[in-house]
Amino acid sequence: MACATREIQAPVHDVFAIVSDPRTYPRWLAGAVDTRAVDDDWPRPGSKFHHRVGVGPLTIPDSSVLLAIETDRRLQLEVRARPLIKAIVTFTFVGDDQRCVISFEEEPVNRVIGSLVRPMLDPLTHLRNHRSLVRLGDLIESKQLHSRLA
């Protein structure tokens, strides 16, 4: 399992609000190109958002499903970029009204294939997820700075 963690100087509720809104993903999630649509009943477990992932001109349209949600505590998704990737992503949030520690864990759905490619992919996935959390922190902390200056 690839896992990345970051402390963000922002209320846990603010961090959760950004992560639970798939429309924000292209702004902070490495590899997210755009969010094409979000089901009307989002964020109900079983609802989906449709996205495009990739790098440069190489993109894949697909969708991800919300598996579980606990406001300000946990968000779990089945993410897909088929035919290559299908994984369970779990975001965990711990904090208060001053700071949030967010963890980003990613586990392949197909354990047999995951076990074969994990030694090569886990370090790359960890770096991508760590980079995503850095971008998330920068996004949130810059929004806070802008709101204080306004």
pLDDT at 62 over 70: yes
Q: What's the number of CA atoms in the CB half-sphere (13 Å) around residue 76? A: 10
Percent of the chain topping pLDDT 90: 63
Q: What is the pLDDT of residues 89-132, one digit of tens each?
A: 999 999 999 999 999 999 888 765 555 555 566 777 878 899 99
Q: pLDDT band for position 67 (50/70/90)?
A: very high
Closest of 99, 121, 131, 110 to residue 4, by C-alpha: 131
Mean pLDDT of 57-73: 94
* CATH number for position 6: 3.30.530.20
In this predicted structure, what is the pLDDT of residue 111? 62
Q: What gap in Å lies between CA 84 and CA 110, rounded to an integer?
A: 11
- Domain span at residue 120? 2-149
Q: What gap in Å lies between CA 11 and CA 67, rounded to an integer?
A: 24
In this predicted structure, what is the pLDDT of residue 148? 56
Q: What is the pLDDT of residues 14-27, one digit of tens each?
A: 999 999 999 999 99
Q: pLDDT band for position 86 (50/70/90)?
A: confident
Q: Domain count of the chain?
A: 1
Percent of the chain topping pLDDT 70: 86
In this predicted structure, what is the pLDDT of residue 118? 55
10 Å CB burial of residue 122 (0-12, 13-18, 19+) is middle
